[in-house]
Amino acid sequence: MGLLGRLAFLFIIIPIIELMILIELGRVLGLFPTLLLILLTGAGGAILTRLEGLRVFFQFRQSLAQAQIPGQAILDGLSVLIGGAFLITPGVLTDILGFSLLLPPSRRWLQRRVRSRLEQKIKDGSIHVVSMGSGHGFGAGHPGSTRHNVWTSEDSDPGAQKGTQERRASRNEIVFEPEEQ
């Protein structure tokens, strides 16, 4: 499925399915219980998002205080942010996905699944990891991995100002830039 198909699925098909589920819930439970359910999941999600967000923030600070890279805390923070956004969106499916991103056991399971899928896509070449500059990017030095430097200098682009670089990467490439020393 291409990008346009994915966007259509995300912004057209999913909301239609959500609306159909809410209409069916309204028919079975009644209007006011359905509205109450929507409000309670929203309020409960907001409270849980705040609690998990604070927990992740303190985990992040603790990692930094111990001079460790807070990789898991960053991943947890991103998961909590996305989960909170799903809970703000009215709908049963988005609420289930939102709560699963907020609750640590299901969040860890989903993170492992996404991580393994990304690793597989990098391994089979459907996603290319691109490193900019002279630093070592993610995946540099992996046996069998290809490291691309994607940039054009002023020699290859007459319209570019001297000394500037223009990054060009395809939609399947991830660009990592090394930190300035």
> What mean pLDDT do residues 100-128 have?
88
User: CA angle 5-138-147, nearest 5°?
Assistant: 85
How many Å apart are CA 69 and CA 181, to the nearest integer? 17
Find the helix packing angle between 92-102 and 14-29, rounded to 10°: 100
> Within a 10 A sphere around the Cβ of 129, how many other Cβ atoms?
19
Residue 130's H or E segment, with its range, is strand 128-131
- Residue 77 clears pLDDT 50, i.e. is over it: yes
pLDDT band at 150; cut points 50, 70, 90: very low
- Residue 22 clears pLDDT 90, i.e. is over it: yes
Helix (H, G, I), strand (E, B) or coil at 122: helix
pLDDT band at 132; cut points 50, 70, 90: low
pLDDT in tens, 154-168: 334 444 443 334 445
- Residue 17 clears pLDDT 80, i.e. is over it: yes
- Residue 179 clears pLDDT 70, i.e. is over it: no
Q: How high is the pLDDT of residue 146?
A: 45
Residue 148: φ, ψ to 5° = -110, 135
What is the pTM assigned to this prediction?
A: 0.62
Q: Specify the pairing of strand 173-176 against strand 128-131.
A: parallel
How many Å apart are CA 73 and CA 83, to the nearest integer? 15
Q: How high is the pLDDT of residue 25?
A: 94
